[in-house]
Each structure stands twice: as C-alpha cells, then as structure tokens.
C-alpha cells in the first residue's frame, strides 16, 4: 500500500524508533587496526597519514594494549626492515621485525587478535610483491611460481611467532594453496588464512607505500593486482581462493569497491573483510583538517556503509577513534 497509507517517515521520527529498525551495526569488535613496525626506537610520523606512526616493537605493544582497552578486535602488522634484498628474506627471518612484534604482543596482550600481513614488497629491494625474473622476451616481471615457496615460508615463520591469522596480500596465483600446504606440513593446521582475494591495483595505496617504503623501484603492480574495472573477475579470484583453502576473503580498497564486497559475500558466504585503505583515510583526514567535513560523522557513516555492503570485518586506520566514539 503506497502513500498516504504507507509513510516511511513514521519509523524515522525518534532516535528510539530509528534504533530498533536499524539494519546494520558497527562495533569496535568488527575492526582491525593496521600497525607499521620499524627497527628503530620510538615513533616516526607518516606524512600523508596524520595520526599514524611507524612504531618500535615497544610502541607496537603499547598500541596493542590500547586496542584491547578500547575493544578493537585486533591488529594487522606490516614490517619495515632495515635490510632489504632481492628475495625479501627478512619477511621469513625468525627474528624479522614482524615476528618480533607478534611475539611481543602475544606475550603482553594474548587475547588480542594478531593478523600478519603476508607479502614480500616491504622486504624486497625492488619493492615488488614477489621475486623477479626476466622473460625470454627480455621483460622483467614477478616470477609467480618461484615466489610461492617464499610466501609459504613467511607464513610458517609468522605462525611460529604466534600469529593468529596470516593474510597474504601479494596476489600471486596459487599462493593460498601453497601457504595452506606449508602451514599444515609445519603443524599449523588451525592457523586461518585471510586472503586478500580481490586486491585491486589502486592509487589509494599511495600513502601506505610511503609508510612502508614499498613503492616499486621500476614498473607497477598491474601485472598481479586486479584491474579496478573488473567485478566478475573479483568474484572468480575469491572463489578460487576458497577452493585453495582461504578461511576469510578480503576486498581492498573498500569504499570505491562496495559492489565487489557485496558480490563476493553473496557468491562465497564466507566471512568477508574489507580494507579501508591509506588513501581513503588520508582523504578524510585532509578534508577534516581543512574543516570541510565532520570527521567523526564521516568515519562512522563510512564504516557503516562498508558493513552494510557485506563486510564482517573492517581493517581501518580509524579503528581506535571509531572504537572510542562507539563506546
């Protein structure tokens, strides 16, 4: 029955009515905070990400404690090693910076979920997400199959350090299967894989690359990350990762890809995570600093929209602020 019998404004009249018919909630327990850990003392600010610093292991533990206090579900760790090489060997070194940070957090705040981002780009001297090779045509490219054992080795090192979840973000074909096999072989049959299953070649990663010092020295990532124009392919990528053993899927970035979050959720019925990336964060911070938007309202609306699109988990640099606003 249409107007005047049906009046949708009836259920919008008071905060109490709006609250009982609200379809989507965001809670601190849905959020993961990314942390950048470096091999230096203290904190150093990241230019394009106001409020986000690179942290020493001690400072990472302090942040982890703060997350636990605020009810944030967990943290996802990125390493910035002093030594980089062609293979990215600090990614899997037993005393690599992320492994140190995992152990320190698990010792101090064992209840907090610790997710290890799994990629080689922060560890390779060329900045690509795998090792390089030259094709017969003389083109330098990332060698997919040769990179898989290195990623698998990194997953095992992260699990050995105590990571609750490993999260491959490299976009090599077959990496979820290779990582699952290696984890199982090493006895980590219960360590879940949160796969960055549809990760787009996005300009929204700009500030992160400054933070993680991981801009490729030559070329770009379009040979392995996805074309932003492709939604069907994102579903295909995600379902392939499910076949290989992914436990949680991820869509990244979040806000320009809400349709992809929806489609991946509908097609997979797996838990889906969305990564509200550095460029999305930087835009909000810049506009808020200029006085153009209300930061708190924009952040909470954004997180609600990402959840409404189908994300169960949201990785966001706003996690601590959002958690304190939601208390």
Give the residue, chosen from 26, 31, 193, 277, that forms a contact with ligand PBG under the rule CB under 6 A.
277
Residues binding ligand PBG: number (CB under 6 A): 11
DSSP codes, 52-67: -EEE-HHHHHHHHHHH
Which one of the spans 53-61, 117-125, 145-153, 300-308 is the region binding ligand PBG (CB under 6 A)?
Answer: 117-125
Q: Is 310 left (phi over 0), alpha (psi -120 to 50) or beta?
A: left
Q: Is 169 in the site for ligand PBG (CB under 6 A)?
A: yes
Please, what's the b/e burial string for 35-61 (b: 16 or more CB within 10 A of its CB; e: otherwise)? bbbbbeeebeebebbbebbbbbbebbb
Q: Which residue in 133, 131, 183, 194 sits closest to 159, CA to CA?
A: 183
**Minimum distance of ligand PBG from residue 34's CB (angstroms):** 6
Is residue 209 a known part of a binding site?
yes
x/- mask, ligand PBG, residues 177-206, rule CB under 6 A, reads ----------------------------x-
What token pair was written down for 203? 């300009």
**Integer Cα distance of 325 and 327 in angstroms:** 6
User: Is residue 314 part of the contact set for ligand PBG (CB under 6 A)?
Assistant: no
257 assigned ligand-binding residue: no
Question: Is residue 278 within the footprint of ligand PBG (CB under 6 A)?
Answer: yes
CB of 187 to ligand PBG, least distance (A): 27
Q: What is the dihedral of CA 183, 185, 186, 189, to 10 degrees?
A: 50
Q: Can residue 209 be called a binding residue for ligand PBG (CB under 6 A)?
A: yes
Chain CA centroid to CA 141, Å = 24
| Residue (176 or 267) nearer to ligand PBG, CB | 176
> Is 278 marked as a binding-site residue?
yes
In whole angstroms, the minimum distance from the beta carbon of 144 to ligand PBG comes to: 15
Handedness of CA 156, 178, 223, 75 (dihedral sign): negative
Closest separation between CB of residue 8 and ligand PBG, Å? Answer: 37
- Candidates 115-123, 180-188, 255-263, 284-292 — which segment interacts with ligand PBG by CB under 6 A? 115-123
Q: Is 90 in the site for ligand PBG (CB under 6 A)?
A: no
Please name which of 260, 242, 246 lies closest in space to residue 168, comparing C-alpha atoms. Answer: 246
Q: Which is nearer to ligand PBG, 185 or 215 (CB)?
A: 215
67 marked as part of a ligand binding site: no
Pairing, β 53-55 against β 31-38: parallel
237 in a known ligand binding site: yes
Q: Is 320 among the catalytic positions?
A: no
Rounded Cα–Cα distance for residues 128 and 216 (Å): 6
Among 5-13, 24-32, 114-122, 139-147, which window interacts with ligand PBG (CB under 6 A)?
114-122
Joined together, the tokens standing for residue 224 give 């392995």
Catalytic, 84? Answer no
Under 8 Å CB-to-CB from 131, ≥6 apart: which residues?
Answer: 86, 87, 88, 120, 124, 142, 143, 146, 147, 150
Catalytic one of 106, 199, 285, 320? 199
Contact between 208 and ligand PBG (CB under 6 A)? yes
Q: Answer whether the bond into residue 253 is a cis peptide, omega within 30°.
A: yes
Residue 121 counted as an annotated binding residue? yes
**Binding site membership: which residues?**
119, 121, 129, 209, 221, 237, 278, 317
Q: Which residues bind ligand PBG (CB under 6 A)?
A: 117, 119, 121, 129, 169, 205, 208-209, 221, 277-278
The binding site for 5-aminolevulinate comprises: 209, 221, 278, 317
Report, as residue numbers or ranges, the catalytic residues: 199, 252
């Amino acid at each position: 029955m249409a107007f005047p019998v049906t009046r949708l404004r009836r259920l919008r009249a008071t905060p109490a009515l709006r609250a009982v018919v609200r379809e989507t909630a965001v809670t601190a327990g849905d959020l993961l905070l990314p942390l950048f850990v470096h091999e230096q003392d203290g904190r150093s600010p990241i230019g394009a990400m106001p409020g986000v610093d690179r942290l020493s292991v001690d400072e990472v533990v302090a942040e982890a404690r703060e997350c636990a206090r605020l009810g944030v579900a967990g943290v996802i760790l990125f390493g910035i090693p002093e030594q980089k090489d062609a293979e990215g060997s600090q990614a899997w070194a037993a005393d690599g910076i992320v492994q140190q940070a995992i152990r320190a957090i698990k010792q101090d705040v064992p209840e907090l979920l610790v997710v290890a981002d799994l990629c080689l780009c922060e560890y390779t001297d060329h900045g690509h997400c795998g090792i390089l090779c030259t094709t017969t045509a003389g083109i330098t490219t990332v060698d997919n199959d040769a990179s898989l054992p290195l990623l698998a080795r990194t997953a095992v090192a992260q699990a050995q350090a105590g990571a609750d979840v490993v999260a491959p973000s490299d976009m090599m074909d077959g990496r979820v299967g290779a990582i699952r096999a290696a984890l199982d072989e090493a006895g980590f049959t219960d360590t879940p894989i949160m796969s960055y299953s549809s990760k787009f070649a996005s300009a929204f990663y700009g500030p992160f690359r400054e933070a993680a010092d991981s801009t490729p020295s030559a070329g770009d990532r379009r040979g392995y990350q996805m074309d932003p124009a492709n939604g069907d392919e994102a579903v295909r990528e995600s379902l392939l990762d499910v076949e290989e053993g992914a436990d949680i899927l991820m869509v990244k970035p979040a806000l320009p890809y809400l349709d992809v979050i929806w489609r991946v959720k509908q097609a997979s019925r797996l838990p889906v995570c969305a990564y509200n990336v550095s460029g999305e964060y930087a835009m909000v911070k810049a506009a808020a600093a200029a006085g153009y938007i209300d930061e708190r309202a924009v952040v909470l609306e954004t997180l609600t929209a990402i959840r409404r699109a189908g994300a169960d988990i949201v990785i966001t640099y706003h996690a601590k602020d959002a958690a304190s606003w939601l208390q």
